Structure 1
Amino acid sequence: MSTDTSQTPPEQLLYSTMLFYGCWGSLALMAVTYALYVLGVLTPHVPLEVVTTLWSQPVRVYLEQGNVPTGWGWAVLIGKGDFINFAGIVLLAGMTILCYVPLIGAYMKKKEPIFATIAVLEILVLLFAASGVVGSGGH
């Protein structure tokens, strides 16, 4: 008979549960926003006819002719059919950051300030990387 007394800490369960449902929710959001785009419910920023003519062109040409911003500039176009799907992508990419937030309080409650500090630092590093400040992300 095995007597395994180890248990998964509640903060790890919270993290994994948030990540599980957040990822599936993000994928569902992407499916819904894609449907809004292809069904024409929301007007796209770059008309589909223009997109198809630019498929074989370099990205630079698409950005110029479609008047598409780079970096986080897409955020101002979030209400457009061809950019609303970014909401699900951003949520999916940001789930790790969101999952770290409740860990800070959980670790402070357990009187583990080093782990709480690591969670804060992880959030800051991920936000900094996504900001595009260093030119490696944020697109």
Structure 2
Amino acid sequence: MVFVGEAGKVNPMLRAEVGDTVEISIASGEGAEHDLAIPELNVTSKRFSAGTGPATLRFTVTQPGKFAYICTVAGHRQIGMEGVFEVSGTARTPASVQSEAGRSATALYTAAAASPRATRLPGASQAIPPPCPRPSARARRRR
């Protein structure tokens, strides 16, 4: 099992800049449950399957670096469900994010607004593990 991007790339590199609000929508066409987590950033999607429909993970990036994104379901990472999320820029404290965003850091993890102002991350998309058909999956960022 692997993550497959909209363009068919296996475990695509995802990119963002510090301060971006990243939204990742991910779905599965199979019965097995999956999720998407970036443990070092302390973010995890809800579990999803073909029966539950897609999941959306939304968070604001406050530190630069390269981070693994994985499926936390037992055994899934070990058989290939992992990729790299690369963040460029300078680290920000939660206070600087709050002052720029005009809201508390906890509000940054709420569900996406109905019509967010967002752009697609260059070269980044999310999808599902084969053998199921590719879903509609997007990774977007908002400033």
TM-score (norm 1): 0.22
Structure 1 or 2: more helix by fraction: 1
Structure 1 or 2: more strand by fraction: 2
Bigger RCO of structures 1 and 2 (CA < 8 A, at least 6 apart): 2
Between Structure 1 and Structure 2, whose CA radius of gyration is higher?
A: 1
